[in-house]
Amino acid sequence: MIEWARAVLTDRDTVVLDLETTGLGRDARIVDLGVERVSDDVLLDTLLNPGEPIPADASDVHGVTDDQV
C-alpha cells in the first residue's frame, strides 16, 4: 500500500479531492470543496453554504465559519 501511495502521489496528473464538512455523521454537509493536481494545479477551490449553521466544533477543525459561506 505504501508503494502504491508513493507512486500515485508522484504522478503529477493525480487529482486529489479535499472536503471539509459540518461533521462526521451521515447528515454532515460539505462546506469546502477543493480539487487539486499533485503538480499544484488548483482545479477547484470553493466554499459551499450547507443550508444550516456550521457547528463550532467543526469550524474549530477546518476554520470555515457561517460568515464565510
- The DSSP bridge partners found for residue 33 are 19, 46
Residue pair 69/47 in contact (Cβ under 8 Å)? The answer is yes
Cβ neighbour number for residue 50 with a 10 Å cutoff: 18
The pLDDT of residue 1 is 94
Residues 21-66 have pLDDT tens digits of 999 999 999 999 999 999 889 999 999 999 999 999 999 999 999 9
